[in-house]
Amino acid sequence: MKRLTRSFIKIIKMSRLRFFYTSSLLVFILVSCSVEKLNLSPVNDAVVDEKLNAIPYTQRKGLILYSSEITGLISSFPKLRNDAVNSEVGNLKYHLKDYIGAMEAYNINGMNSAQRKFEKSYKKIQKLRTYLNSEDDQVLNRYLVRIKTNMTLLESNFPKDSLNIPIK
């Protein structure tokens, strides 16, 4: 009987140890897989990098300058006294971020979509400006003019098709 209990205890200890190792391995695999970035895109990131590196330095410098100016304006945009204008300004900021993200990823369709949404939001803000007092209207106008100017300059510096991108 003692022999049976000892062997039973050994089996239990081994099964606990096996369970511990198995569960540890499972947790390790799950954590390792969740940390890595999963890339399901058929296009390699190197292709995107090559396209952006193929853009001449002066054009890239302009893209960086105008996009950084836009992101600076987005981050420093003041709160106004009208909630409807503030919510539409939030939409405008979101569409601008989408546009810049699509530009960095060289996603022409994403850029076009974000630009259409930006223009819609811009027009809506222009209609809502009538409800602002003169001080808020001047501040809003200053920011909108600078954003629109930088968007135009950014768009003019970005190559639209493969004919504008020189081959290395």
Residue 57 confidence (pLDDT): 66
Q: Is residue 162 one of the residues assigned to a domain?
A: no
Confidence category of residue 19, pLDDT binned at 50, 70, 90: confident
| Mean pLDDT, residues 27-39 taken together | 57
Task: Find the domain containing 15 and state its range.
Answer: 1-38
Which is higher by pLDDT, 29 or 152? 152
> Are residues 53 and 114 both part of a single domain?
yes
Q: Over the stretch 67-79, which tens digit does the pLDDT of each residue have?
A: 889 888 888 999 9
Ranges 5-9, 49-53, 62-66, 113-117: which has the least confidence: 49-53
Among 89, 74, 151, 100, residue whose Cα is nearest residue 124: 89
Residue 70 tokens, joined:
């836009």
> Are residues 29 and 63 both part of a single domain?
no
Q: Is residue 166 one of the residues assigned to a domain?
A: no
> Are residues 75 and 131 both part of a single domain?
yes
DSSP of 86-143? HHHHHHHHHHHHHHHHHHHTT-HHHHHHHHHHHHHHHHHHHHHGGGS-HHHHHHHHHH
Total domains in the fold of the chain: 2
